[in-house]
Structure 1
Amino acid sequence: MQPPETRKPAAGQAAGSSGASKGWDRIDHQDHTTSANIVQESGGNSNERQQMPNSHVTYSSKCYVTVCVGCDDMFQTSRRDQMTCTGACRVRAHRNGSMTRRKAVCAITKAEPVTLGWAMALSRLCPHLEPAMLAGELEFEDIMPDLNRAFVARVYEALRMTETAP
């Protein structure tokens, strides 16, 4: 069981003040140390802290590529469970029944509803990875960086096409 997240004052700070604006008091959930402790362990020199790798601090840098249930367009999101690109698409998906259909298909297959959007993005952007996914050699978390690169490349390609159009 993970210990609850706690905040400790950074080196040289009073117990009542917070170093949240500098990000010095975030906890690494793997070794339960704060970057403030790293500063203290390095002799309290904050310049040394800036040179230390960011691997000691937990950041959420996940980015998912999926297909919107409402408009059938691909989009990027930092939320793992997001199935629509906008609020308007979420309303549209509920009103036209596409959200209900996706959830029904996923209930039959015992899959998360969001994974269907990921699979659709995979087939559109990286069809060469589908056999490995179907064989169980890869997980969606493994291929998401490839999907992101392919998505960004497609966006830049579309941008170049619009710049050269008369």
Structure 2
Amino acid sequence: MKYLLSALVVLTLFVSCISNEDKNTEPTEPQKTDYTVENDKEITDYIAKNKLTAVKTDSGLYYVINEPGTGTQPTATSNVTVAYKGYFSSGKVFDQSSAAGISFGLNQVIKGWTEGIPYFKTGGSGILLIPSHLGYGSFDYSGIPGGSVLIFDVKLIKVN
């Protein structure tokens, strides 16, 4: 019994030392990776393969206006209703709205949408080709692998 009690005391001390070491260690943030060059090549290859006429912005966003629309043009802080289909350059769809669309504030979504949707007027449609730094960055998000180029077919239904 004496040996068992001694073993428990030693084990408790050992475990508490390990716990204290863990508490003193600073958590490290996962390493961020810059996919800018790879994303730009993936987007330009996609544009060439699909014979699109796209405009590149200073931030690296590419957009295609299929139908400019004739109504109100939103700003980066507008609340809008948009119908969309989101997919990778492989064509694999990762998200899609109903034809009625969804409403949200442009200051509450990824940077590529905040910047890209204001290129359309109400009734307009086109494509946003979003590099990862304007999407979810180098981190996985809800089934979207880090570093992914995101492509969206969008229709601006209305500015709310």
Q: What is the TM-score when the length of structure 2 is the normalising length? A: 0.21
Greater C-alpha radius of gyration: 2
Judging by fraction of residues, say which structure has more helix. 1
